[in-house]
């Protein structure tokens, strides 16, 4: 059985305060983007789970991969699930603010639920997904959502960017999420993202902010330069996604090609 986990971008990201559990309360809009990995589940007669990967290099041990953790999470409650082989073809850059690993984990849960007829509801899948990561529940719903709490409180929201061209640019700079949070001074914004997001896209530039950008741009000026270049080339809105380092630009569909001075950057255009 095959599925295609997609990535997401963050439309605005406010860090509101640190919680007693060590996480942060935030506000953001998760928006799904059709740039995808490929994930295959194959029943196996072997005694242990097998995990293989192609495409972009997947760091770490196979046992630590979120797809494998998703399998063990459900296996604990549904021991009748047989041993499987998992193959992941990785196209979404890792550690890029696009939620690729979270998407893989959530889609693994959905694959297991469908393949082995576990009859888990959406709410049940979301509860399992949250045990794998704060971004994972979004990919169970996989529709534009306002996210609050630590990112797990989701409210579907009417945002449609299908008439625009979206350009994703990743410079290959790894941003440590813990470092990014440690350089944030949480605060209540003057206006909420929920309010701003319903305005026309061409008004977002001055109001829809990602709180991580200030610290990340100071530490890595090349990421700031990408955002500035996207605006120079006609983006109606540009921002860093999550804690970075991917920057996205939203363009009118008839805008010309995007070019950057560093041709080694990863660039993906979604029309």
Contacts of 77 (CB under 8 A, 6+ apart): none
Kindly tell me the sign of the dihedral angle through the C-alpha atoms of 178, 182, 186, 191. Answer: negative
Kindly tell me the sign of the dihedral angle through the C-alpha atoms of 111, 114, 118, 122. Answer: positive
**C-alpha angle 163/164/165, rounded to 5°?**
135
Contacts of 242 (CB under 8 A, 6+ apart): 10, 13, 97, 98, 99, 212
Annotated catalytic residues are: 8, 135
């Amino acid at each position: 059985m095959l599925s295609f986990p997609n990535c997401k971008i963050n439309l605005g990201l406010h860090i509101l305060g640190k919680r007693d559990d060590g996480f942060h309360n935030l506000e953001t809009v998760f928006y799904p983007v059709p740039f995808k990995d490929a994930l295959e589940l194959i029943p196996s007669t072997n005694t242990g789970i097998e995990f293989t990967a192609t495409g972009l290099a997947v760091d770490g041990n196979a046992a630590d991969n979120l797809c494998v953790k998703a399998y063990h999470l459900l296996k604990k409650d549904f021991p009748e699930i047989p041993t499987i082989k998992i193959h992941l073809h990785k196209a979404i850059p890792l550690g890029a603010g696009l939620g690729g690993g979270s998407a893989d984990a959530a889609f693994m849960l959905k694959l297991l639920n469908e393949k082995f007829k576990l009859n888990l509801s959406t709410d049940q899948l979301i509860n399992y997904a949250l045990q794998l990561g704060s971004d994972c529940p979004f990919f169970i719903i996989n529709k534009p959502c306002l996210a609050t709490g630590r990112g797990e409180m989701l409210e579907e929201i009417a945002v449609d960017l299908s008439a625009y061209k979206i350009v994703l640019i990743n410079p290959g700079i790894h941003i440590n999420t813990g470092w990014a949070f440690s350089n944030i001074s949480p605060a209540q914004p003057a206006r909420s993202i929920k309010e701003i997001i319903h305005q026309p896209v061409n008004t977002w530039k001055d109001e829809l902010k990602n709180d991580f950008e200030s610290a990340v741009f100071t530490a890595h000026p090349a990421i700031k330069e990408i955002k500035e270049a996207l605006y120079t080339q006609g983006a109606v809105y540009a921002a860093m996604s999550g804690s970075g380092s991917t920057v996205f630009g939203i363009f009118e569909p008839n805008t010309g090609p995007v070019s950057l001075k560093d041709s080694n950057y990863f660039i993906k255009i979604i029309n």
